[in-house]
Chain A
Amino acid sequence: MKHLVPEFEKLRERFPAGFESSLALPCLRRIQEDRGYVADSDIEELAVFLGVPQIQIEEVLSFYTQFRRKPIGRWHLQFCHNVSCSMNGAENVLAHVERRLGIKPGQTTPDGRYTLSTVECLGSCGTAPMMMVNDGYHENLTLAKLDELLQGLK
């Protein structure tokens, strides 16, 4: 985490004084972006840097779905399976990807390329079905579109 401290200091300037604790989420997001996950050492260092109890950082990491404590595949495919997506064929597209990759949600392909997850509504219901690949949204999915997309994810 240490090399990110200058960035964190900049971030701090945007917040009013006394908001150190608030930096927990943005700093953790940044650490995860940098390392791919949040390591144990990051937790201790961040707690010290922000002057917050370490347990607060641990709680935050386990409360929010986007944080992870372990590395995952290079491409994280997250399929929405909430109502509107389900009503527009989410089950089909998910089943298709499961077949193609040979994994179930929660698993990573042995070559470490793909991790598959299901998630709740991501606010793309009008362009359902949808999935997130890493940070990007892919909407109005069809089987053909999916195949093409997977081709591009090396």
Chain B
Amino acid sequence: MPEIFINGQAIEARDDQTVMEVAREHGHFIPYFCWHPQLSVVGNCRMCLVEVEGRGLDIACNMPVAKGMQVFTNSEEVQAHRKAILQFITLNHPVDCGICDKAGECVLQDYHYEYSGQRSLSHDEKVRSTKFYNLSNRILLDNERCILCLRCTRFTHEVSKSMALGVERRGDVSNIRPVEDRPLSEDPYSDNIIDICPVGALLSRQFLHKSRVWFLQPTPSVCPGCARGCTVQIWHRKPEWKLKALDQRQNENIARVTPLDNPAVNGPWICNKGRDLAQMFERVRADEPMLKGRPVTVPAALDEARRLIGAARHPVALVSNWGSNEELETFKDKLGEVFHCFVKQDWQRQPGERIEDDLLIRGDKNPNTTRARELFGHAEPDFKDGTDLVLVWGEGFDFARLPPRAGIIFLNSYLQPENGHADVFLPVSIQTERHGHYTNFEGTISAFEPCFEKKPGVLHAEDLIKALAAPARGHP
């Protein structure tokens, strides 16, 4: 346990630590571009230069701790050099923040304000390079903005292992490039490089020029895309910046999804499916209860459902593994004795989707199979003993498999043909409209919060379950 000194403060460090790591742990911020806690050290941006007594300047990210060393993270020399590094970085950088999606969360912008504020000392033309290079069907690359920190290349070599990115040429005409003829599209983790790019060189095509980030706010959530249950942030328009003109749907839509750093589940990464939650959640929604396809009021639909439940002799429930822990527990508590319950797999693997790997992606493409099975067991749905009523909670079950003469109560969120075939159809809210928790395949529980308001005709499943368990009106 060597003792070192950072800005005069004595600190007990571990032998295997670098000065960068120790400084961060103890609240001495050292600016950095290329360093990343999950990637190997390349030490090329030189932003983290610090001064060591008797040794002069060197980079903190590659500096092992040594007993008694005196490190200064903010000496005059250090400040002068940081300023110079920023001069070099912006020498050929286009500084086109006005049209850059990263503006507002760009490390280069922040550091410029914090450590330089100086105008460019150059009078010469900038080196021009490719703008809007097609890195994949999801990502654009702006080589002029790139500061060659090599986080993106290291990500594809060390984390996602697609080996898809490298550096072409050398010197100030070096360019990040993908493997020829085999773009990054095959890497299901590719979009993480957009997040870890410290500048606006890597751009999401989905998000391109969609919104300035300061109009958005993040809500913590959990990706339901597979049993990993990565924690994410769902970005949506801030209430105070709600659009009154233009396309008002933007107020209700997911602007983008980013990882929520979580060592217990997903670290700082998510897969591309997690980025595409909008595609899942923004399908056309069902927002009216129906009886045999005929729109009715919520109380009327509830009444009919309760009547069917009361009359049934052998009711079966197919419980959704997209239900939250709270919803599943409420179902168990309120209706567990009424129904014979099976866990239903709402989602199956889609064609072309990666099945499973040793980074994040799991073969079970549902978020809460773990808790659902804990409560309702592992058995496959089975209707043999004269089933006369089936409650189907959630999508993904082929109605042709239901016993022909049984009544159907269907709880679903999206507009789908089956809705009209049910005796009672009840629209339920989706994850982005409610609170809840999922239990992932390892038993780790993560929370999600609402981003948007639900429609009036739509019910939260938890309320709905309680209502179904209440004594039926009009019955003795």
| Chain A residues engaging chain B, CB cutoff 8 angstroms | 40, 43, 53-56, 58-59, 62-63
Q: Are A63 and B157 in contact (CB under 8 A)?
A: no
Q: Are B170 and A55 in contact (CB under 8 A)?
A: no
- When C-beta atoms are compared, the residue in chain A nearest to B180 turns out to be A58
Q: Tell me which residues from 148 to 205 in chain B have a Cβ below 8 Å from any Cβ of chain A.
A: 157, 163-170, 177-182
Interface size, B (range): 10 to 19
- When C-beta atoms are compared, the residue in chain A nearest to B182 turns out to be A54
Contacts of A55 in B (CB 8 A): 163-166, 178-179
| Chain B residues engaging chain A, CB cutoff 8 angstroms | 157, 163-170, 177-182
Number of A-B residue pairs at CB separation under 8 A: 32
Contacts of B168 in A (CB 8 A): 58-59, 62
- When C-beta atoms are compared, the residue in chain A nearest to B177 turns out to be A58
Contacts of A43 in B (CB 8 A): 180
Which of these, B163, B164, B180, contacts A40 with CB under 8 Å? B180
Q: Are A62 and B169 in contact (CB under 8 A)?
A: yes
Contacts of A54 in B (CB 8 A): 163, 179-180, 182
- 5 CB < 8 A contacts A-B: A53-B179, A54-B182, A55-B178, A59-B168, A63-B169
- When C-beta atoms are compared, the residue in chain A nearest to B175 turns out to be A62
Given A55-B165, A58-B179, 4 further pairs, Cβ under 8 A = A40-B180, A55-B166, A56-B166, A63-B170
Q: How far is the CB of B151 from chain A (nearest CB, A)?
A: 16
Q: How far is the CB of B38 from chain A (nearest CB, A)?
A: 20
Contacts of A56 in B (CB 8 A): 163, 166
- When C-beta atoms are compared, the residue in chain B nearest to A55 turns out to be B166
- When C-beta atoms are compared, the residue in chain A nearest to B156 turns out to be A55
Contacts of A53 in B (CB 8 A): 157, 163, 166, 179
- When C-beta atoms are compared, the residue in chain B nearest to A64 turns out to be B170
Bound-state Cα–Cα, A55 to B166, Å: 6
Contacts of A40 in B (CB 8 A): 180-181
Contacts of B157 in A (CB 8 A): 53
Contacts of B169 in A (CB 8 A): 62-63
Q: How far is the CB of A25 from chain B (nearest CB, A)?
A: 15
Q: Are A59 and B167 in contact (CB under 8 A)?
A: yes
- Please give me the 10 A-B residue pairs with the lowest Cβ-Cβ distance, nearest first: A53-B163, A55-B166, A62-B168, A59-B166, A55-B179, A62-B169, A54-B179, A63-B170, A55-B163, A59-B167
Q: How far is the CB of B395 from chain A (nearest CB, A)?
A: 41
Q: How far is the CB of A47 from chain B (nearest CB, A)?
A: 9
Bound-state Cα–Cα, A54 to B169, Å: 15
- When C-beta atoms are compared, the residue in chain B nearest to A56 turns out to be B166
Contacts of B166 in A (CB 8 A): 53, 55-56, 58-59
Bound-state Cα–Cα, A40 to B179, Å: 11
Contacts of A63 in B (CB 8 A): 169-170
- When C-beta atoms are compared, the residue in chain A nearest to B157 turns out to be A53
Q: How far is the CB of A26 from chain B (nearest CB, A)?
A: 20
Q: How far is the CB of B423 from chain A (nearest CB, A)?
A: 58
Bound-state Cα–Cα, A55 to B168, Å: 9
- When C-beta atoms are compared, the residue in chain B nearest to A61 turns out to be B168
Bound-state Cα–Cα, A55 to B181, Å: 11
Q: How far is the CB of A68 from chain B (nearest CB, A)?
A: 13
- When C-beta atoms are compared, the residue in chain A nearest to B166 turns out to be A55
Contacts of A59 in B (CB 8 A): 166-168
- When C-beta atoms are compared, the residue in chain A nearest to B161 turns out to be A53
Contacts of A62 in B (CB 8 A): 168-170
Q: How far is the CB of B117 from chain A (nearest CB, A)?
A: 36
Q: How far is the CB of A19 from chain B (nearest CB, A)?
A: 19
- When C-beta atoms are compared, the residue in chain B nearest to A47 turns out to be B179
Bound-state Cα–Cα, A63 to B166, Å: 11
Bound-state Cα–Cα, A37 to B164, Å: 24
Bound-state Cα–Cα, A5 to B214, Å: 57
